[in-house]
Protein backbone atom coordinates (compact mmCIF):
# COMPACT_ATOMS: atom_id res chain seq x y z
CA UNK A 1 0.00 0.00 0.00
CA UNK A 2 1.28 3.38 -0.97
CA UNK A 3 0.23 6.86 -1.98
CA UNK A 4 -1.24 5.54 -5.23
CA UNK A 5 -3.52 3.19 -3.30
CA UNK A 6 -4.71 6.04 -1.09
CA UNK A 7 -5.23 8.28 -4.13
CA UNK A 8 -7.68 5.64 -5.35
CA UNK A 9 -9.35 5.66 -1.93
CA UNK A 10 -9.55 9.47 -2.23
CA UNK A 11 -11.43 9.24 -5.54
CA UNK A 12 -13.94 6.78 -4.07
CA UNK A 13 -14.50 8.90 -0.94
CA UNK A 14 -14.97 12.10 -2.93
CA UNK A 15 -17.52 10.40 -5.20
CA UNK A 16 -19.41 8.68 -2.37
CA UNK A 17 -19.94 11.60 0.01
CA UNK A 18 -23.29 13.38 0.04
CA UNK A 19 -22.96 17.02 -1.04
CA UNK A 20 -25.10 18.08 1.93
CA UNK A 21 -22.10 17.53 4.22
CA UNK A 22 -20.21 20.35 2.54
CA UNK A 23 -16.81 20.41 0.93
CA UNK A 24 -14.39 17.95 2.54
CA UNK A 25 -10.73 18.70 2.99
CA UNK A 26 -8.64 15.68 2.07
CA UNK A 27 -4.97 14.94 2.55
CA UNK A 28 -3.42 11.83 1.00
CA UNK A 29 -0.14 10.53 2.39
CA UNK A 30 1.98 7.50 1.56
CA UNK A 31 0.38 5.54 4.42
CA UNK A 32 -3.14 6.93 4.58
CA UNK A 33 -5.85 9.45 3.85
CA UNK A 34 -7.31 12.05 6.22
CA UNK A 35 -10.68 13.78 5.66
CA UNK A 36 -12.12 16.70 7.65
CA UNK A 37 -14.56 19.56 7.32
CA UNK A 38 -13.89 23.24 7.95
CA UNK A 39 -11.06 24.02 10.31
CA UNK A 40 -11.72 21.03 12.59
CA UNK A 41 -8.60 19.08 11.62
CA UNK A 42 -8.20 17.71 15.17
CA UNK A 43 -11.44 15.79 14.56
CA UNK A 44 -11.16 13.87 11.31
CA UNK A 45 -11.79 10.64 9.45
CA UNK A 46 -8.90 8.47 8.44
CA UNK A 47 -7.92 5.28 6.69
CA UNK A 48 -4.32 4.40 7.45
CA UNK A 49 -1.82 1.62 7.58
CA UNK A 50 -0.96 0.54 11.10
CA UNK A 51 1.56 -1.98 12.33
CA UNK A 52 -0.18 -4.08 14.97
CA UNK A 53 3.12 -5.23 16.40
CA UNK A 54 4.58 -1.71 16.41
CA UNK A 55 7.62 -2.77 14.41
CA UNK A 56 8.43 -0.49 11.46
CA UNK A 57 8.86 -2.52 8.29
CA UNK A 58 7.11 -5.48 9.85
CA UNK A 59 5.76 -8.06 7.46
CA UNK A 60 2.19 -7.88 8.77
CA UNK A 61 0.14 -4.76 8.83
CA UNK A 62 -3.48 -3.72 9.21
CA UNK A 63 -5.70 -0.91 8.06
CA UNK A 64 -7.57 1.31 10.45
CA UNK A 65 -10.70 3.02 9.10
CA UNK A 66 -12.83 5.49 11.03
CA UNK A 67 -12.93 8.68 13.08
CA UNK A 68 -10.23 10.24 15.30
CA UNK A 69 -10.33 12.94 17.98
CA UNK A 70 -6.77 14.26 18.38
CA UNK A 71 -7.06 17.31 20.63
CA UNK A 72 -4.15 18.11 22.94
CA UNK A 73 -6.03 17.21 26.13
CA UNK A 74 -7.61 13.86 26.94
CA UNK A 75 -10.66 15.63 28.41
CA UNK A 76 -11.43 17.30 25.07
CA UNK A 77 -11.18 13.98 23.25
CA UNK A 78 -13.31 12.27 25.90
CA UNK A 79 -16.02 14.91 25.40
CA UNK A 80 -16.02 14.30 21.63
CA UNK A 81 -16.26 10.55 22.16
CA UNK A 82 -19.05 10.97 24.76
CA UNK A 83 -21.06 12.99 22.24
CA UNK A 84 -20.61 10.22 19.66
CA UNK A 85 -21.44 7.49 22.16
CA UNK A 86 -24.74 9.25 22.87
CA UNK A 87 -25.64 8.47 19.24
CA UNK A 88 -24.37 4.90 19.35
CA UNK A 89 -27.73 3.39 18.47
CA UNK A 90 -27.69 5.41 15.24
CA UNK A 91 -24.14 4.59 14.18
CA UNK A 92 -24.34 0.94 15.24
CA UNK A 93 -27.43 0.54 13.03
CA UNK A 94 -25.47 1.89 10.05
CA UNK A 95 -21.90 0.73 10.74
CA UNK A 96 -22.49 -2.57 12.55
CA UNK A 97 -20.49 -4.19 15.32
CA UNK A 98 -16.97 -3.56 13.98
CA UNK A 99 -16.40 0.03 15.20
CA UNK A 100 -14.61 0.42 18.53
CA UNK A 101 -15.16 3.60 20.54
CA UNK A 102 -12.21 4.11 22.84
CA UNK A 103 -8.55 4.89 23.18
CA UNK A 104 -6.56 5.65 20.08
CA UNK A 105 -4.19 2.94 18.91
CA UNK A 106 -0.75 3.96 20.13
CA UNK A 107 -1.56 7.34 21.75
CA UNK A 108 -3.00 7.58 25.24
CA UNK A 109 -4.57 11.06 24.91
CA UNK A 110 -6.37 10.67 21.58
CA UNK A 111 -9.65 8.79 21.02
CA UNK A 112 -11.12 6.83 18.13
CA UNK A 113 -14.30 5.41 16.71
CA UNK A 114 -12.82 3.03 14.18
CA UNK A 115 -12.24 -0.52 13.07
CA UNK A 116 -9.17 -2.44 12.00
CA UNK A 117 -8.79 -4.74 9.03
CA UNK A 118 -6.01 -7.27 9.68
CA UNK A 119 -3.89 -8.38 6.74
CA UNK A 120 -5.79 -6.30 4.15
CA UNK A 121 -3.37 -7.35 1.40
CA UNK A 122 -5.29 -10.62 1.24
CA UNK A 123 -8.54 -8.78 0.42
CA UNK A 124 -8.16 -8.64 -3.36
CA UNK A 125 -8.08 -6.03 -6.08
CA UNK A 126 -11.15 -4.05 -4.94
CA UNK A 127 -9.56 -3.08 -1.63
CA UNK A 128 -9.23 0.64 -2.46
CA UNK A 129 -12.91 0.74 -3.40
CA UNK A 130 -13.93 -1.11 -0.21
CA UNK A 131 -11.82 1.17 2.00
CA UNK A 132 -13.15 4.30 0.28
CA UNK A 133 -16.77 3.21 0.64
CA UNK A 134 -16.28 2.27 4.30
CA UNK A 135 -14.57 5.57 5.09
CA UNK A 136 -17.41 7.42 3.34
CA UNK A 137 -19.89 5.41 5.45
CA UNK A 138 -18.19 6.63 8.63
CA UNK A 139 -18.28 10.22 7.40
CA UNK A 140 -21.91 10.04 6.28
CA UNK A 141 -23.05 8.58 9.64
CA UNK A 142 -20.74 10.28 12.15
CA UNK A 143 -20.45 13.81 10.78
CA UNK A 144 -24.07 14.79 11.57
CA UNK A 145 -23.70 13.31 15.09
CA UNK A 146 -20.39 15.06 15.62
CA UNK A 147 -22.01 18.40 14.92
CA UNK A 148 -24.99 17.95 17.24
CA UNK A 149 -24.89 20.35 20.17
CA UNK A 150 -21.87 22.23 18.83
CA UNK A 151 -23.46 24.44 16.21
CA UNK A 152 -21.56 22.47 13.56
CA UNK A 153 -24.39 20.19 12.49
CA UNK A 154 -24.41 19.35 8.79
CA UNK A 155 -27.70 17.56 8.16
Please report the pLDDT score of residue 132 as a whole number.
Answer: 96
Please report the pLDDT score of residue 105 as a whole number.
Answer: 76
Distances (CA, A) of 111 to 24, 102, 104, 114: 21, 6, 5, 9
> What is d(CA 17, CA 139) in angstroms, rounded to the nearest whole number?
8
Which value, in Å, is the radius of gyration of the alpha carbons in the chain?
15
pLDDT in tens, the chain (155 residues): 667 889 999 999 999 999 999 999 999 998 899 999 988 789 999 999 887 655 455 556 789 999 999 999 999 999 999 999 999 999 999 999 999 999 887 778 999 999 998 866 655 678 999 999 999 999 999 999 987 544 344 33
**Cβ atoms of residues 136 and 9 within 8 Å:** no
Query: 22 — alpha (psi -120 to 50), left (phi > 0) or beta?
Result: left
Pick from 140, 58, 53, 142: nearest CA to 105: 53
Residue 41 half-sphere exposure, CB side, CA atoms within 13 Å?
6
Pick from 106, 125, 16: nearest CA to 116: 106
In this prediction the pTM is 0.87
Please report the pLDDT score of residue 108 as a whole number.
Answer: 84
Amino acid sequence: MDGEFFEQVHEVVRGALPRALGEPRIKVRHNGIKVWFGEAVREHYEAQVIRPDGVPGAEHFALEVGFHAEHGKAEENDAVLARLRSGEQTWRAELGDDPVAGDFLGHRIWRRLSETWPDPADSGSDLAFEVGVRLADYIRVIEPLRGEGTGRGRR
